[in-house]
Amino acid sequence: MHRAALLLCTLVSLDAGCALAADPDALWKIVDGQCVPGQMRRDDPSPCTQVDLRAGTAVLKDNAAHKPFEYLLIPTLRLSGIEEPALLEPGGTNYFAAAWAVRGLVSARVGRPLDDTEIGLAINARPARSQNQLHIHIGCLRADLRDTLRRQGGGIGTDWTPLAGTFAGHAYQVRRIAGPELGEVDPFRLVAEGLPGAREAMGNETIVLTGAALPDGQAGFIVLEGRAEPGGFPPWLGGPGGGEELLDHGCAVARDG
């Protein structure tokens, strides 16, 4: 959840989304205290949509009033966020792959099948989040970003390159992942190992993943990276770091195709 939501909650109401903003451990309490025990004892993961005990993941509907179509992929292990060293260790759960595997939940909420280029996964930088439990946002990609990626698709390779233009005033870098499945390719490690200074300051990184639409017709993914500069304005006051800004809570792509 973005820090801007915390201000909105303070000024407007106290709904379920606001409860998350008010308690930085709320997601962990829900997953560890309700979803996992319910799955283990009764085969009932509620209030989560699903829990995969083998993979160590839970999926929870984002109940913020302004996010009717979005879900969260949350580890069942205690991991604070993108800065966790465990995310870069080999052999661990690929949380982006797990989030991508449940993207159909968004289409079901929207009411029509969404193309993979219309789905976005996002994790915010540490300064841009309100929850101290790692979670990946699963929702609709912004239509303007989808269109930009379609136009630039042929020029996006397996090396990091600047994305054309800015979004919400922020610049991003972009690269391609070949193949229809992520498999062993983990976006956390792609950023840490491929960009100077990223591994040493992963807490300042934000990552967004979407399906690729490339002229060669091959399936794949596009990864976007942004960075919150230390000492700069926090993201909710105009600095980068909240990749969630690349998602569209209203899901315009479902209307314009």
The per-residue pLDDT for range 18-61, each reduced to its tens digit, is 555 579 999 999 999 999 999 999 999 999 999 999 999 999 99
Quick one: which of 129, 163, 94 has its CA closest to 243?
129
**How confident is residue 236, by pLDDT bands cut at 50, 70 and 90?**
very low
Whole-number pLDDT of residue 9 = 45
pLDDT value, residue 229: 62
Select from 146, 154, 106 the least CA-distant residue to 257.
146
Q: In one letter, which amino acid is 91?
A: G
Whole-model pTM: value is: 0.88
CATH code of 238's domain: 3.30.428.30
Answer yes or no: are the C-beta atoms of 194 and 174 closer than 8 Å: no
In this prediction, residue 152 has a pLDDT band, given cuts at 50, 70 and 90, of confident
Instruction: Give residue 24's domain range.
Output: 3-256
Q: Which long-range contacts (CB under 8 A, 24 or more apart) does 81-85 make?
A: 81/123, 81/126, 81/129, 81/131, 81/132, 81/133, 81/134, 81/203, 82/123, 82/124, 82/125, 82/126, 82/134, 82/188, 82/202, 82/203, 82/205, 82/206, 82/207, 83/126, 83/202, 83/203, 84/134
Which token pair is 108? 């079901």
Give the total number of structural domains in the chain: 1
